[in-house]
Amino acid sequence: MSQAPGMEHLFSPLQLGEVALGNRVVMAPMTRARVPNRIPNTSTVTYYAQRAGAGLIITEATTVSAQGNGSVATPGIYNRQQITGWRRVTDAVHEGGGKIAVQLWHTGRVSHASQQPDNVEPVSASAVAGNVLTFTENGFEPTTPPRALAVDEIPGVVEQFVQAAQNAMLAGFDAVEIHAGSGYLLDQFMRDGTNQRTDDYGGSVENRCRLTLEIVDAVSAAIGAGRTGIRISPMLVTWDCSDSDPVTLFSHLVSELNQRPIAFLDVLERNDASIAVSGDDNADDNEAGVRRIREAFSGNYIANGCYSGASANAAIASGYATAVGFGRDYISNPDLAQRLLAGARLNAPADPIDYYGDGGDKGYIDFPSLAE
């Protein structure tokens, strides 16, 4: 296959911590809600194997415990069958020449009692309910108001992430990505709109970042910092989870991460292309905030959010990004990396109705590659 002009930065190899990547195209983590019993199945194997041309696949958000579950048909990595199911996925991706990390997820309050063991209420930093719906057996339902985790329960939450990371190694993953973005449990601890604690895990920016950093350190100690990455979405308000000063908050987190030899920091910078170009005040604030947070980090930086092949290549060429994550384009283009390399046209975007669940294999594993 011939190479499109000027894609050499995106297609240069990369040592990402302990993981050697063939190129710098990263498949961003995407929930697809197609595993009814939370165990990866044959379609999951096919879906990820089709995308093995990425330098690195980051899986859909995968729960670290039954307590971490928040909606139907999302996978976990806390029991033996799940480890076995994921092993089939990682084997298939490795056979295709790719590398794969699992995104480790605890939904916190973005959950419903029906998704919790014994139908108990979900947990969060504080008993602050979100104005949020989640997908249950009955369709979209309001989330169940959470209870605050007791301080003596917090080591158990850290342990859930450690056990899940160890399970990931058993399942053959190359790395893990700790999900600290998108309004889930770790974001709920970090942001002052959801954290009203008065103990060591609330109040100051240092205290609110404590749980996330404890998890980074404990996971790094268990599986190696060179196999440990983290994702944040600092300037976005997701699932009603907001902060009064996200630039200060996440600049602190990132400067702490910068002192740790982690494999990568993955940042969802924006979720709407119009934000990057619109020039309105909020959009400019968003972009300026992302810049400041990015400048606080000198390790491997995976930039994500509305990148094209050309803008990704330019971001790497300028030294802004080490690698670039692609989300939606990977849904409809299983061979996205090969298409970017060849300068080939992309398939029509997927219908958002097929993003999650119900459709089964439709809109999941039925997008043609170039060769097809």
Ligand X SMILES: Cc1cc2nc3c(=O)[nH]c(=O)nc-3n(C[C@H](O)[C@H](O)[C@H](O)COP(=O)(O)O)c2cc1C
How many Cβ atoms sit within 10 Å of the Cβ of residue 133?
15
Q: Quote the least distance from Cβ 28 to ligand X, whole Å.
A: 3
Q: Which of 48, 184, 307, 330 is flagged as catalytic?
A: 184
Residue 30 binds to ligand X (criterion: CB under 6 A): yes
Please report which residue ranges of the chain form alpha helices under DSSP H: 42-50, 80-95, 154-170, 185-190, 205-223, 246-257, 273-277, 281-295, 309-317, 328-332, 336-342
Residue 320 burial (C-beta neighbours within 10 Å; 0-12, 13-18, 19+): middle
The answer to whether the beta carbons of residues 90 and 100 sit under 8 Å apart is yes
Nearer to ligand X, 184 or 297 (CB): 184
Nearer to ligand X, 260 or 328 (CB): 328
Nearer to ligand X, 148 or 230 (CB): 230
143: CB partners within 8 A, 6+ apart:
70, 109, 110, 111, 112, 122, 129, 130, 132, 133, 134
Nearer to ligand X, 29 or 76 (CB): 29
Show the binding pattern over residues 248-277: x = contacts ligand X (CB under 6 A), - = does not: --------------------x--x------
State which of residues 76, 181, 234, 246 lies at the interface with ligand X (CB under 6 A): 181
Nearer to ligand X, 120 or 273 (CB): 273
Please report which residue ranges of 31-132 form alpha helices under DSSP H: 42-50, 80-95
Residue 309 burial (C-beta neighbours within 10 Å; 0-12, 13-18, 19+): buried
Residue 184 designated active-site? yes
What is the length of the chain?
372
State which of residues 60, 174, 187, 243 lies at the interface with ligand X (CB under 6 A): 60
Q: Which stretch binds ligand X (CB under 6 A): 106-114, 277-285, 287-295, 299-307?
A: 299-307
Q: Quote the least distance from Cβ 199 to ligand X, whole Å.
A: 28
> What 8-state DSSP symbol labels residue 38?
S
Q: Which stretch binds ligand X (CB under 6 A): 40-48, 130-138, 298-306, 361-369?
A: 298-306
Compute the distance between CA of residue 46 and CA of residue 177 in angstroms, rounded to an integer: 22
State which of residues 28, 92, 168, 175 lies at the interface with ligand X (CB under 6 A): 28
Residue 9 binds to ligand X (criterion: CB under 6 A): no
Q: Quote the least distance from Cβ 85 to ligand X, whole Å.
A: 17
Contacts to ligand X from residues 96-115, by CB under 6 A: 103
Binding-site size for ligand X (CB under 6 A) equals 21
Find residue 176's DSSP bridge partners. Answer: 102, 228
For residue 48 the two structure tokens come to: 């990820």
Nearer to ligand X, 148 or 338 (CB): 338
**Strand 19-21 versus strand 14-16 pairing type:** antiparallel
State which of residues 96, 205, 355, 366 lies at the interface with ligand X (CB under 6 A): 355
Contacts to ligand X from residues 309-328, by CB under 6 A: 326-328
Residue 302 binds to ligand X (criterion: CB under 6 A): no
The torsion defined by the Cα of 96, 97, 98 and 99, in degrees rounded to 10, comes to 120
Tell me which residue of 86, 84, 94, 122 sits closest to 106, measured CA to CA.
Answer: 122
Q: Quote the least distance from Cβ 5 to ligand X, whole Å.
A: 22
Residue 189 burial (C-beta neighbours within 10 Å; 0-12, 13-18, 19+): buried
Q: Which stretch binds ligand X (CB under 6 A): 28-36, 222-230, 333-341, 357-365?
A: 28-36
Compute the distance between CA of residue 213 and CA of residue 217 in angstroms, rounded to an integer: 6
Q: Quote the least distance from Cβ 56 to ligand X, whole Å.
A: 13
Residue 31 binds to ligand X (criterion: CB under 6 A): yes
State which of residues 69, 144, 160, 304 lies at the interface with ligand X (CB under 6 A): 304
Nearer to ligand X, 202 or 334 (CB): 334
Residue 305 binds to ligand X (criterion: CB under 6 A): yes
Residue 29 binds to ligand X (criterion: CB under 6 A): yes
Q: What residue ranges bind ligand X (CB under 6 A)?
A: 28-31, 60-61, 103, 179, 181-182, 231, 268, 271, 304-306, 326-329, 355
Return the active site residues: 184
